[in-house]
Chain A
């Protein structure tokens, strides 16, 4: 599976957009980019995923570069409740039973008042 590289921590002012980068330069053509977040003492929460097109849902937007070697998760108006560890994961969407979700180091986002 492709490895991902994320900054270990970031700060963001409340109400501003939080832009979380992820590098995945060895991503394969059939691998999706997934984002999860984990708020302190809770289980990880699915945010969004994409293959090559930009995606948007009620939580966030995902921007994937044309060469697919990097992506950015955008929280358009960050709130204090968005303080969490954000994980970028690349996985094949369809595959065999060995295709599990594996977490890397993630980015610890601190939203400040």
Chain B
């Protein structure tokens, strides 16, 4: 298995809703990442997990709450989002955070619309 699987592919949520994005990989990667991508912009790093521990939070608002329950799963819990949070949310994984010469593997993303 050489893929990163993200679910759902599309999500529409109201500003008072609570929802979760899910990411899964079975490549034995021990680093996982969340990126946010607005239309016609490059992806921006949000969070980094290394060996199931949060190692980097790029000053992301607390309405985004990441979770890494095991080495294969990464969740992003969403609560009280704003319309400007509408974006493509990308999950990625790599062998380690300290070695990226093997590259990152990205999922296809979840397209989130906040209404």
Contact = CB atoms under 8 A, between A and B. Distances in A.
B55 A97 contact: yes
Given A42-B109, A43-B92, A87-B42, A101 B104 contact: yes
A93 B100 contact: yes
B43 A93 contact: no
Interface SS majority for chain B: strand
Contacts of B50: 97
Determine the interface band of chain B, counting residues with CB < 8 A from chain A. 20 to 34
Interface residues of A, number: 27
B108 interface: yes
Contacts, number: 67
Interface string A52-68: 00000000000000000
Which DSSP category, helix, strand, loop or mixed, fits chain A's interface? Answer: loop
B45 interface: yes
A93 B101 contact: yes
B97 A100 contact: yes
Interface string B81-115: 00000001010100001111101111111010000
B98 A94 contact: yes
B106 A100 contact: no
Interface of B: 4, 33, 42-45, 48, 50, 55-56, 88, 90, 92, 97-101, 103-109, 111
20 contacts: A34-B103, A36-B103, A36-B104, A43-B90, A43-B108, A43-B109, A44-B92, A44-B106, A91-B100, A93-B101, A97-B98, A99-B98, A99-B100, A100-B33, A100-B45, A100-B48, A100-B56, A101-B104, A104-B42, A105-B42
